Chain A
Amino acid sequence: MFEKFRKKSPWILHYNAGSCNGCDIEILASLAPKYDLERFGIINTGNPKQSDILLVTGPVTLKSRERLVELYSQMPEPKVVVAIGVCTCTGGVFRKMYNVKAGVDRYVPVDVYVPGCASSPDQIIDGVVQALAILEEKSKDIEKPKRLFGELTNNSIFTNRREMAKKIKHEKN
């Protein structure tokens, strides 16, 4: 009943997973008055609990991946993930470096890949608009990250459904 309002007010969470800040600046540029993403009702909330779209930039360093997973799992469904920039999509020039695995989709499911180094605001807006179409289709079932980090006992992502959490591959770092 309220599905059609999903794309009218998508709130954004922006996470920098070890990016060079090139893509971050472009994201902020598209939120700023020139491109004015607020005309679509888009707000940069900075809080996973109230946002619908996760914009990830950067090649996901080993330090940042557990935060990424934690933030992802704190977002309420329906939610979409947009990987911004080529590093985020595949690892880019950092692929196979000692502190980087390849791309964000090893950790969380990604819905839209936006290429470019750095992606331009037009591309980003285009990617977000495509993500909105996906967001409208999504169900409210729980979406799990592909891996969990840290101690499982300490990790209360699914406090009610610990069983479900156990099925996810778990890495201790």
Chain B
Amino acid sequence: MSWFLALFAPVFGTLVSGIDRVVRARMQRRLGPPLMQPFYDMFKLLDKRPMMVHKLHIVLGVMHFMALWASIALFMFGGHLLYIIFTHLLSVIFLILAGYSVRSPYSHLGANRELLALFAYEPILILMAVGFYLTCGSFEVSVITSNSPAIVSMPLMFIALLILLPLKLKKSPFDAPEAHQELCGGVEIEYSGFFYEVIYVSKMTEIIFVYALVFLFAGQNILLGIILVTGSFFLVNAVDNATGRIRIDHLVKKVYATAFVLALLALGWISYV
């Protein structure tokens, strides 16, 4: 089962992304693309003539995907939550370096914003891992998923994660790192054809990583997990449709003012009350 989940995580991510696009279109009273649209996009990208800016750029992009996949695999095999978060950090750093490695203003701006976004969410992910440790007694995902739901003892931490979701999924109001209208995608701008496909797939894989974190809050209760994931999925899409983009410095301030404080409160609540 773990093998299956880890191996096909990109495929599931693509599927979720397809549902995501349809749901968003329906929320705007549009028909929206077919459910399998992301797959069509991928096959089309395979068919394009390959082009690249330089070698290092491509290699770092591929390593970004590999590291992200590795972190998901660690997750599915029930590894240590801190190692998972830091492997994910490694993958984001690869992407940022890829953005920096080309002399393109958009790519640089995107990488800068990605770095600031990393600065905003990384501490909260760590605090969340510590929260799981305090409620379940271990950092191991396998132990956390065999415990009672963690959301009962730390609802505030769950709200903090909900605030992070748009940031990780590159959705409004926290989509400044990608910002299709001003930066044309930020770090991913210089990739094309097959190489863009790698970045595209890793975006889909990221979705799985994020919702896996949401699922973790349900512990052993799979039904509750499905409810949490579906609920947060619709919530994120509704917020995406209802809000505009905020500036990157506001993003950092707002995430610290809300999610970080909530995470600390949750930790204080678990430890001392």
Contacts and interface: CB of A to CB of B under 8 A. Distances in A.
A and B in direct contact, judged by CB atoms within 8 A: yes
Interface of A: 2-3, 5-6, 8-10, 33, 36, 38-41, 45-47, 49-50, 52, 76-78, 140, 142
B234 interface: no
Interface stretch (B47-55, B92-100, B116-124): B47-55
Among A2, A77, A140: residue with most chain B CB under 10 A:
A2
B28 A33 contact: yes
A41 B47 contact: no
A77 B48 contact: yes
Interface stretch (B31-39, B67-75, B135-143): B31-39
Given A2-B47, A76-B50, A49 B41 contact: no
A78 B48 contact: yes
B44 A2 contact: yes
Interface string B175-199: 0000011001100011111001000
Contacts of B43: 2, 5
Contacts of B185: 45, 47, 50
A47 B200 CA distance: 15
B40 A5 contact: yes
B191 A49 contact: yes
Contact of A41 (B29, B40, B184, B190): B40
A47 B49 contact: no
Interface in B246-265: none
Contacts of B189: 47, 49
B159 interface: no
Contacts of B25: 36, 38-39
B29 A39 contact: no
User: Interface residues of B toward A: which range?
Assistant: 20 to 34
Contacts of A49: 51, 189-192, 196
Contacts of A140: 47-49
A41 B25 CA distance: 12
Nearest to B36: A8
Interface of B: 21, 25, 28-34, 37, 40-41, 43-44, 46-51, 180-181, 184-185, 189-193, 196
A50 B40 contact: no
Given A3-B47, A5-B47, A50-B191, 5 more contacts: A9-B37, A9-B44, A36-B30, A41-B34, A50-B185
A76 B34 CA distance: 25
Nearest to A1: B47
A6 B192 contact: no
B30 A33 contact: yes
A41 B33 contact: yes
A108 B189 CA distance: 23
A47 to B, nearest CB: 4
Contacts of B51: 49, 76
A52 B31 CA distance: 23
A85 B25 CA distance: 29
A47 B184 contact: yes
A146 to B, nearest CB: 19
Nearest to A139: B49
Contact of B33 (A5, A39, A76): A39
The 5 closest A-B pairs by CB, nearest first: A49-B192, A2-B47, A5-B43, A8-B40, A77-B49
A39 B26 CA distance: 11
Contacts of B50: 76
A49 B46 CA distance: 14
A72 to B, nearest CB: 13
B30 A38 contact: yes
A22 to B, nearest CB: 21
B37 A41 contact: yes
Given A33-B29, A41-B37, A76-B51, A50 B180 contact: no
A52 B49 CA distance: 11
A46 B40 contact: no
A39 B31 contact: yes
B121 to A, nearest CB: 26
